[in-house]
Each structure stands twice: as C-alpha cells, then as structure tokens.
Amino acid sequence: MDDCKDVKHAVGKQALLVEDNEINAEIAMLVLQDMGFKVDWVSNGAEAVENFGISETGYYSLVVMDIMMPVMDGLEATKLIRRLDRDDAKSVPIVAITANAFPEDKEASYQNGVTTFVTKPYGKQQLQQVIETLLQ
C-alpha cells in the first residue's frame, strides 16, 4: 500500500486533540490513531494550553484544534501556546478545525499562529491528507 510511507512517518508520535464535540473528536481520533499517533484529547482551549505547557518539550508533534469551543476558543489557545517560552511551542504544527471558511476567518487563524486548517464538515480522508502534507 502506498500510504505505508506516510503512516510510518507518524509512528510513535503524540498528538493533542482539542475538540468539545464528542462525535467530532471520535472522528479525528480515528484518523490520528490510524496514522500512528497516540492521542491526548481535551475539550477546550484552556485545557489545551495547560496540557501543552506541562508536557515535556517536543512531546507533542501535532495539535488538532477546534476553533469554536467553550471556556477558551481555539484561536486564543493557539495564540497562548505560541507564546509559551519553549522552542516546540513556536514550531509544532497546529491544524485548526473550523466551520468558518471566510477569508477573514482564515487570516485571523494564521495571525494567531495556526499552521493550516480544515473546514467543517470534513471527512477522514480530508483530515488525513492535511496532516500528511504537514508531516512531509
């Protein structure tokens, strides 16, 4: 299978999944696990910042971040992660998951430190392709 090269690329890696909707989280977890990621799932941006902040440097190789969440939204969480005083906070790929696909939404995402994004509703293949592109 041609996809084996891409799957092996992620083996043993840890992903932080930030999603308040359980069904969306299950879909994203399946994709990430199929790609060889171990997944830590939190349900809001504040938990994401906390988990990333207390993890060892380099622990997370990917963050998948919903934008619209309670407590703290994904853009604020992304901004706070990027401001942490550690090298991996500035370089870890952050994939935003959003229903807002207007140009101003994309621009706000990039200004807050998002690497790329996937628009809801999305399928497993779409999310996998975006992640594989980031890991190449």
Residue 61: other Cβ atoms inside 10 A: 17
The more confidently predicted of residues 117 and 40 is 40
Q: How confident is the model over 80-135, as pLDDT tens digits?
A: 999 999 999 999 999 999 988 788 988 899 999 999 989 988 888 999 999 999 88
pTM: 0.89
Q: How confident is the model over 15-33, as pLDDT tens digits?
A: 999 999 999 999 999 999 9
Domain count, the chain: 1
∠ CA 5-57-44, rounded to 5°:
85
Domain that holds residue 42: 4-135
Q: Which among 107, 74, 78, 72 has a CA at the least distance from the CA of 92? A: 78
Strands 38-42 and 60-66: unpaired
CATH number at residue 65: 3.40.50.2300
What average pLDDT does the chain have?
Answer: 89
